[in-house]
A and B are shown apart, each in its own frame.
Chain A
Amino acid sequence: MKLVYFAWVRERIGRNEEEITLPGGVTTVADLLDWLKSRGEGYEAALARPEVIRVAIDHEHVMHSAPLAGASEVALFPPMTGG
């Protein structure tokens, strides 16, 4: 599964994207955020307040309760500020 990061989530994690293999038990977006947080300082800094993180699966907004099954690209980013 491909993970992509934007704005300050990208800056704090220190990379634009990465390929990951989901460990067993990680089945929802919330599980994913929780697991990523344990992967190092950058992730911890980016995801310290997971409730503010917005998530898209394959270019569509999803809630944190959404299942990851079948997802090929998961994006994590802060609330949007375009327009």
Chain B
Amino acid sequence: MHGRCAPLVRVQAEDFDLAAEVRRLTEGRTDIGAVVTFSGICRDEDGRLAALMLEHYPGMAEAEIMRIAREAAGRWPLTGLSVIHRYGLIKPGENIVLVVAAAPHRQAAFDAASFLMDFLKSRAPFWKKEHALHGGEGQWVAAREADEDALARWAGEEPAKAR
């Protein structure tokens, strides 16, 4: 039986290297049958967007992602789980977030990565502000109800219950 893997969580301004992060979880191991990666990338909103400014709550951002990651590691038999979230000015085409989930079988890796992203979007303290191509600093991105609704499919499995 598998022990719980210890998740890796990083919140950083710098870019990350997907291949290097996959290698970190797989190198030298022969017990892994599946690696699922999710990359969140800045899109230009039909050419309207010059960049996103990502604000975060230092300390809580890491702590909250770690709470979600530990919950995922407890729910699924993973061999490794890494989450990297960037902050600062991010241009269209650049990376925002990376989730890497490794497991003996694919379903656990798919589910854990999906669970991680669903909770991260509604619980991790990050906020996006749009910088428009014409007109400089723009609007704060509004939270989508669909993101909150997405949590319902994990009902009863909420990792970060408010007290």
Contacts and interface: CB of A to CB of B under 8 A. Distances in A.
Is B a genuine binding partner of A? yes
Interface of A: 4, 6-8, 56, 59-63, 66, 75, 77-83
A59 B60 CA distance: 5
Contacts of A59: 57, 59-60, 63-64
Contact of B125 (A8, A62, A63, A82): A82
B35 interface: no
B85 interface: yes
B142 interface: yes
A56 B97 CA distance: 23
Interface string B121-134: 11111111100000
Contacts of A80: 121-127, 143
A77 B125 contact: yes
Given A6-B125, A77-B127, A80-B127, A66 B140 contact: no
Among A4, A61, A62, residue most surrounded by chain B Cβ atoms (within 10 Å): A61
B111 interface: no
Nearest to B117: A83
Nearest to A82: B126
Interface string B105-143: 000000000000100111111111100000000001111
Contacts of B142: 81
**Residue in A6, A75, A82 with the greatest tally of chain B CB atoms within 10 Å:** A82
27 contacts: A4-B57, A6-B57, A6-B125, A7-B129, A8-B140, A56-B57, A56-B60, A59-B60, A60-B60, A60-B63, A60-B160, A60-B163, A62-B162, A63-B163, A66-B162, A77-B127, A79-B143, A80-B121, A80-B123, A81-B121, A81-B128, A81-B142, A82-B127, A83-B40, A83-B96, A83-B97, A83-B120
